[in-house]
């Protein structure tokens, strides 16, 4: 079982790195959930997802090509992006989270997990390497979302986004509790990407990855291509 000590040490290292970036003038944009799948949590002895931060430096444009030639284990994941309309701090409930949710939209994350050591994973923000953020819309029900992913022409239909991520409101509440132990909070205007909604896809050179939320079919899908 992973200890709270390992989690707190990892988060402390992560937040120190975040503060260093902010001190250099880098703009923070939000946070991410990592290792959210039940199998991964059981394997690592976790009671919820791990935490990571995101800045403007890792935002990718839709349709970008990502050079993964020097990555260890490049992975790509379809995720749900949630923008907050109010601050969340401390031991929040799922109802508190629901009330603070603003627009939602699709996101693609690329990661390069070099280890399953929990402290290292936290220190490295869940090995986050990049994110594509799609257009967000208000008024969508996060509890009844479907999605479609196309990998090299092969279509994968996701009937319920929360089947793998678990309750989105529970995920966000868990991240908030992580931060509360370090006197940090989730702030209005930040975006949270809430974990992979299907098993991560190997993002080897030549992989073409497309994704759309079913409720946003009138918008162009998000896409990334791996090179190297």
Contact by Cβ (8 Å): 148, 211: yes
109 to each of 66, 94, 146, 167, 204, how far by Cα in Å?
Answer: 12, 24, 18, 19, 14
Token output for 194: 């809430």
Determine if residue 5 is left, alpha or beta; phi over 0 gives left, psi from -120 to 50 gives alpha, anything else beta. alpha
Q: Tell me if the pTM is above 0.75.
A: yes
Kindly tell me if the per-residue pLDDT of 1 is higher than 60: no
Of 219 and 89, more confident: 89
For strand 208-213 and strand 147-151, is the pairing parallel, antiparallel, or unpaired? Answer: antiparallel
What pLDDT, on a 0 to 100 scale, did the predictor assign at position 214? 84
- Two tokens at 86? 């109010």
Rounded to an integer, what distance in angstroms lies between the CA atom of residue 77 and that of residue 108?
A: 6
- Banded model confidence at residue 142, pLDDT cuts 50, 70, 90: confident
Summarize the confidence of residues 186-204 as an average pLDDT. Answer: 96
Distance CA 51, CA 123 (A): 9
In order of their start, the domains of the chain are: 4-60+73-143+164-202 (3.90.850.10)
């Amino acid at each position: 079982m992973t200890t709270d000590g390992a989690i707190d040490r990892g988060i402390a290292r992560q937040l120190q790195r975040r503060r260093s970036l902010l001190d250099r003038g880098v703009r923070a944009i939000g946070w991410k959930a990592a290792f959210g799948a039940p199998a991964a949590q059981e394997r690592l002895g976790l009671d919820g997802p791990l935490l990571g931060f995101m800045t403007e430096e890792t935002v990718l444009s839709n349709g970008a090509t990502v050079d993964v030639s020097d990555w260890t284990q490049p992975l790509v994941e379809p995720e749900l992006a949630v923008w907050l309309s109010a601050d969340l701090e401390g031991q929040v409930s799922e109802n508190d989270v629901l009330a603070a949710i603003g627009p939602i939209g699709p996101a693609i994350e690329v990661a390069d997990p070099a280890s399953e050591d929990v402290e290292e994973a936290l220190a490295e923000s869940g090995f986050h390497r990049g994110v594509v953020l799609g257009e967000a819309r208000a008024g969508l029900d996060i509890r009844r979302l479907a999605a479609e992913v196309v990998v090299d022409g092969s279509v994968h239909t996701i009937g319920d986004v929360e089947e793998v991520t678990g309750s989105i409101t529970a995920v966000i509440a868990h991240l908030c509790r992580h931060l509360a132990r370090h006197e940090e909070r989730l702030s209005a205007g930040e975006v949270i990407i809430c974990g992979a909604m299907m098993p991560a896809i190997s993002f080897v050179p030549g992989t073409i990855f497309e994704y759309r939320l079913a409720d946003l079919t009138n918008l162009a899908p998000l896409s990334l291509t791996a090179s190297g």
